[in-house]
Chains A and B, each alone.
Chain A
């Protein structure tokens, strides 16, 4: 056990130095220095409890995705069959199904042909099952696979949109991660007041332009009678028509997602804040067609199912740029511009968990945590040196290297240091001490039994290694479970503990053994002071 050929020494040193060196960028930045950007810079980031900032856990309702999917399909059915001149009755959406009747049963095959391309989703997944009942009733069922894929896609694009919106706020290094099936975790270090962020993420910002049905009677709408082919949309609160509803035509509108740019500006005449939008070429073409075909008719600008204004189309708008009015303040107009620029959220997100830590508390925590760690570590270093002499000093060196190695490995894996993580460091120091104590007590014991120095050390390491391994497995089990099931603070603690146990055993068993072996070979002591 005490045989250390040169290659083995080189290996051990290489591993040690590599891991410890990776901690340097973190330490340089933490102590106010600047790490040169041309060098590789693995860094440990600070958790919110240390850096201060805001944490939001956003959740999408799976039901919303399904509902939207059904409504989208209903829309597709109407347009496709309308385009193929197939007349149908009302399209109903309920229970995960879209169903409708054909007016002319002889068109079943034609209808089936028309709908076929819309039934499969991305890839080879069959999104919809099509059944024809009683000869002319079509039932489209959303499959479980289709729904899952849809939620997945929706969450991916929602994560993207959230990132774009947060970037527009100009905050520093936000973390945005998808969690589980339908959640997005957002961490913004340094952000003290998450209200603006929540306002920005709270709207899906789905923009639509639909023609107003001027023939619909206000009295009918008020009584809940919806003219055929129409839908009734309420005015958004705070707009000129707030509290009333208007009927718009289901078909023939366009969606506002084909934009290249949205911007808050002020209307020249009144200086009122408005949002100017610029369609991309496809969108501009559709918009031009809509405005040309419907000149002198009103159309409604609908945001998230609420009308924000319903201006008259005075002339065809061919250039693809338009202005949205809607009793905005500069802030709300700006917010809408950001939302439109980032694209619409495919699902509505609600905040289910939120946490804010002030920068003062974070700074206080890191300061006090560091002091506690240094005081504790110093006390231990002295205690070990006093108890085990030369062997204790080797153990102390191993302990210090251990701390740097943990930081370095965390940096390489992009870990985050949290407050419980600091406590994890403390415990790891305990585990490292444990290993050294087991070894040194064992050497003492072997000496007492009258073994020679070299043999006692050899046996001490051999016998203790088994116990060390056994004992640390329990920590690894606990840490692994914390990592698997834990969230937030527990995870930060588990990561440090897991890395720490590995490095503790490495430094406490292998490094010290190498040092002791080399010393024994060099000095050939007759007696050991352990």
Chain B
């Protein structure tokens, strides 16, 4: 049986021919993401803004009666609920702000939960309360802060590592493609208004790791080839390196996408957003390792001679004496 080859041997695609259109596309998508994040905002979950979330599954109905729920809960006088379906149409999350003064008196929040749960179950016999999350304002501030810290430190630690391991141009290239990937994932969440909670932060940190992983594999090869083919023009060298690692890039992205799609489609709906974030992250990370990370090196002035130590006068004499040009 012949072996399956996703990328034929000696593939030589001129990736860098498309470097300008893809750059424009990347920049446009990033701008669009920032605009969306600015205008729509992220739909922060109770983890980050505090409040209460009740998860309900309607076991007998196909689609949850969101409109009915909204008016029923509004009538209870705890303010306006934010109701949205999570993953499948018969599951909803209902978010409420914590009642006034619940910082001092925890009983108020409990009472609200009980009232709302009882009310839902009295109106909808097939409603199953799947869970309740209640986060005080103080804790949510802390969670937001620690999440921001985790992201910040991760970016910092990784830059230090790359700077240590590669030349500065590679470090900048890796950072740019990383920012690109994370921005697009955030843009997706601003566009869809999916719940942005702690698990999404975990997903973004993973995308960060993956984006870098991908970039490093390509960079590793570029560095190797820079030493090997001193005279090859930069564009050609980048194309060669990307093509040489293409089989690996495609295979790994494919396996990750297979498992994550299984998780998205067959897995529990609670982690729908998490899986979706990872899938998009892996797609854009793969794309950016080719189209952002590699061309960045040209723009940053990496040439075949960048990493050759400058020749001393004595060495030059010796070289000429050996009869080399």
Which residues of A are in contact with B by a Cβ distance under 8 Å? 49, 57, 195, 198, 202, 350-358, 360-361, 364-365, 368-369, 371-373, 375-377, 379-380, 383-384, 386-389, 419-420, 422-423, 426-427, 429-430, 433-434, 437-438, 441, 444-445, 448, 466-467, 470-475, 477-479, 481-482, 484-490, 493-494, 497, 529-530
Contacts and interface: CB of A to CB of B under 8 A. Distances in A.
Interface string B105-136: 01000100010000000000000111111111
A22 to B, nearest CB: 24
B150 A481 contact: yes
A371 B161 CA distance: 38
Interface string B261-282: 1110111101100110010000
A487 B198 contact: yes
Given A387-B3, A485-B149, 17 more contacts: A49-B270, A354-B133, A360-B128, A371-B266, A379-B259, A386-B4, A389-B1, A420-B199, A437-B255, A470-B216, A472-B213, A474-B216, A478-B154, A478-B158, A486-B150, A489-B202, A494-B202
23 contacts: A49-B270, A198-B110, A351-B136, A354-B132, A358-B128, A360-B130, A361-B55, A365-B270, A372-B267, A376-B262, A379-B258, A380-B255, A383-B255, A422-B263, A433-B256, A444-B9, A448-B9, A474-B158, A477-B158, A485-B149, A490-B198, A490-B201, A493-B206
Contacts of B271: 419-420, 423
Contacts of B6: 387
Given A426-B260, A477-B209, A490-B201, A386 B3 contact: yes
B268 A365 contact: yes
Given A478-B208, A489-B202, A426 B150 contact: no
B57 A377 contact: no
Nearest to B253: A430
Interface in B123-157: 128-136, 138-139, 143, 146-147, 149-150, 153-154, 157
A377 B139 CA distance: 38
Q: Report whether over half of chain A's contact residues are helix, strand or loop; otherwise say mixed.
A: helix
A218 to B, nearest CB: 30
A430 B165 contact: no
Contacts of B147: 485-486
Interface stretch (B29-37, B243-251, B307-315, B317-325): B243-251
Contacts of B254: 383
Nearest to A56: B134
A445 B135 CA distance: 54
Interface of B: 1, 3-6, 9-10, 55, 57, 106, 110, 114, 128-136, 138-139, 143, 146-147, 149-150, 153-154, 157-158, 161, 165, 198-199, 201-202, 205-206, 208-210, 212-213, 216-217, 220, 244-245, 247-248, 251-252, 254-256, 258-263, 265-268, 270-271, 274-275, 278
Given A430-B252, A434-B252, A489-B199, A423 B263 contact: yes
Contacts of A352: 135-136, 138-139
A376 B129 CA distance: 30
B150 A485 contact: yes
Contacts of B198: 486-490
Contacts of B131: 355-358, 361
Contacts of B55: 361
Interface core residue of A358, A420, A467, A481 (most chain B CB under 10 Å): A481
A248 B165 CA distance: 74
A67 B93 CA distance: 41
A530 B262 CA distance: 28
Contact of B209 (A379, A441, A474): A474
Nearest to B146: A485
Enumerate the 8 nearest inter-chain pairs by beta-carbon distance, A residue then B residue, closest first.
A376-B259, A478-B209, A376-B262, A485-B150, A372-B267, A365-B268, A361-B130, A386-B4
A387 B4 contact: yes
A372 B158 CA distance: 31
A426 B263 contact: yes
A314 to B, nearest CB: 38
A292 B132 CA distance: 53
Contacts of A497: 206
Q: Report whether over half of chain B's contact residues are helix, strand or loop; otherwise say mixed.
A: helix
B216 A486 contact: no
A437 B149 contact: no
A423 B275 contact: yes
Contacts of B245: 441
Contacts of B266: 368, 371-372, 375
A198 B106 CA distance: 10
Contact of A364 (B247, B260, B268): B268
A475 B211 CA distance: 10
A350 B110 CA distance: 12
Contacts of A195: 110, 114
Contacts of A479: 209
A475 B136 contact: no
Nearest to B145: A485
Contacts of B206: 427, 478, 493, 497
A94 to B, nearest CB: 22
Contact of A481 (B3, B110, B157, B220): B157
Given A365-B268, A482-B205, A358 B217 contact: no
Contacts of B201: 486, 490
B98 to A, nearest CB: 11
A351 B158 contact: no
A477 B268 contact: no
Contact of B3 (A57, A388, A433, A493): A388
Interface core residue of B57, B146, B149, B266 (most chain A CB under 10 Å): B266
Contacts of A202: 106
Contacts of B158: 474, 477-478
Given A383-B258, A387-B251, A368 B202 contact: no
Contact of A438 (B129, B212, B248): B248
A243 B35 CA distance: 58
Contacts of B220: 466-467, 470
Interface core residue of B154, B251, B261 (most chain A CB under 10 Å): B251
B213 A434 contact: yes
A422 B262 CA distance: 12
A383 B271 CA distance: 26
Contacts of A419: 268, 270-271
Contacts of B261: 376
Nearest to A476: B209
Nearest to A354: B134
Contacts of B252: 430, 433-434, 437
A389 to B, nearest CB: 5
Contacts of A361: 55, 57, 130-131, 270
Contacts of B209: 474-475, 477-479
Contact of B161 (A198, A364, A473): A473
B161 A474 contact: yes
Contacts of A477: 154, 157-158, 161, 209
A357 B4 CA distance: 45
A369 B275 CA distance: 12
Contacts of A471: 213, 216-217
Contacts of A494: 202
A469 B154 CA distance: 18
A437 B251 contact: yes
B3 A529 contact: yes
Contact of A484 (B4, B150, B165): B150
A165 B321 CA distance: 89
A430 B247 CA distance: 15
